[in-house]
Amino acid sequence: ETGVTQSPTHLIKTRGQQVTLRCSSQSGHNTVSWYQQALGQGPQFIFQYYREEENGRGNFPPRFSGLQFPNYSSELNVNALELDDSALYLCASSLRLAGGQETQYFGPGTRLLVL
């Protein structure tokens, strides 16, 4: 086990609703990244937070937003849900190291279904 937890494990929402997904990082990690994995695809980067600030963002619209808290837990919020948002959402925590040698450790994911 990676020590990264996510909640809830499954979620069903309807189009137009809003959803909040949660992630608890591995102890001591200061960076969290969120990915979306559609069925049959590789994970796609949504954004990354380092020390509570957004450090990078993938090709996702502004209705995808996030937070990282002082205890390095994190949230992913998605507003105005669309059918295509149905996917497995993965968070990954890491400890940023000089030289970029860090490894991202993934949680089990939250499976979101939008009807």
Binding site for another protein (CB under 8 A): 2, 4, 6, 31, 33, 35, 41-45, 47-48, 50, 55-58, 90, 92, 96, 99-101, 103-109, 111
CA distance 35 to 106: 10
Q: Smallest distance, Å, CB 17 to another protein? A: 24
Length of the chain: 115
Q: Which is nearer to another protein, 68 or 104 (CB)?
A: 104
Q: Which is nearer to another protein, 13 or 111 (CB)?
A: 111
| 34 alpha carbon, distance to own chain's centre | 3
β-strands 5-7, 64-68 pairing: unpaired
Closest CA to 42 of 78, 88, 5: 88
Q: Smallest distance, Å, CB 101 to another protein? A: 5
Q: Which is nearer to another protein, 25 or 104 (CB)?
A: 104
Q: Which is nearer to another protein, 18 or 103 (CB)?
A: 103
